[in-house]
Amino acid sequence: MSIKVGDFAPDFTLKNVNQEPVTLSDFRGKQNVVLLFFPAVGSGVCEKELCSTRDSLKDYENMDAQVFGISVDSMFAQKLWVNSLQLNFPLLSDFNKEVAPKYGAFYDVWVPGKLDMKGVAKRSAFVIDKEGIIRYAEVLESAGDEPSYEAVKAALTSL
């Protein structure tokens, strides 16, 4: 499945690192949402991406956006990473691999690189407006690439 700009964002409920459920549709009518899917806790590019987001979180907040990082890692592994990197935005666990495929952000087979892992999220960025509509979608095939933070912020600015 592939998500396009203008599509209604598939709803989901995932648990955060405190084992609390977070439902996307709860933000409708209230706040824009940025979803950042990433392959794996503990990897170098993922750390760079999430620390960059941490360091510019004020920009997202000023654009009335709630940022979520999503991976298929367990909420327990994510919590260790949140604490060690002092992340200031929620990570959500798609451990059962139900949400990333709905967004077209999922490797059935890990092609790039030598890890040969199946079933991890593709690095992706989605901007969802307050009505639940996708306003920006970027799904990267190479896990070594980062999304365009400038394009994400431009999409938020235009809302």
pLDDT tens digits along 127-146: 999 999 999 999 998 888 89
Cβ-proximal residues to 157 (8 Å cutoff; 6+ apart), any chain: 63
User: Which domains are present in the chain?
Assistant: 13-157 (3.40.30.10)
Find out whether 75 and 43 touch, Cβ atoms under 8 Å: no
pTM of the model: 0.94
Closest CA to 68 of 52, 92, 46: 92
Catalytic residues: 46
Span 23-51, pLDDT tens digits? 999 999 999 999 999 999 988 888 899 99
